[in-house]
Structure 1
Amino acid sequence: MQLNVERGAPATGKTTRLRQIAKADGQSEQEILVGRHCTPDALAHSVRWLAGQGANVICIDECSEEQIALLQGLQRRLPGNLTIHAVVAN
């Protein structure tokens, strides 16, 4: 699994770029996970479920640093062809 994390100040285009990545992968905006809507464990569960369903790209907006750390810990347990794009607002 590859984890691409984009960090930065609010209103600098991070979410717009994430939406473009999702669209290029054929995902709707509703398929983008939102970190602030779930606990770190719930986010990890969603990522594992999507990977199990064959997702190659997962986009996550508004992640916390705790969620990023948990995703980093999952790297070895997820498929090698999976790419996660995550946005963290500072």
Structure 2
Amino acid sequence: MTMAETPIRMPKLSMTMEEGEFADWLVAPGDTVTKGTPLAVVLTDKVEMEIESEVTGTVTRLTAAEGDVVPVGGPLGYVDATDEDGLGDLDDLLS
């Protein structure tokens, strides 16, 4: 099983968005998440949006705090992802 620390990034929620305000975490370090798990809430143009996990793994670090303004693409925290490419044990079979 391949493990890789994957950043949780501030998403671009509109064509003109350059930064967003971090509102709240929905997970804590040590939590196990799967792809699609809600991780955090960010604010843009006074709209609250949930960020979902793009990977399955364990939350390792939360670097953003309530009220932080983070540029689009900037890290909010990190997940130690398993099978980042989604191929699972197929990689082992092909080796």
Normalized against structure 2, the TM-score is what?
0.25
Normalized against structure 1, the TM-score is what?
0.26
Greater relative contact order (Cα < 8 A, sep 6+): 1
The structure where strand makes up a greater share of residues is 2
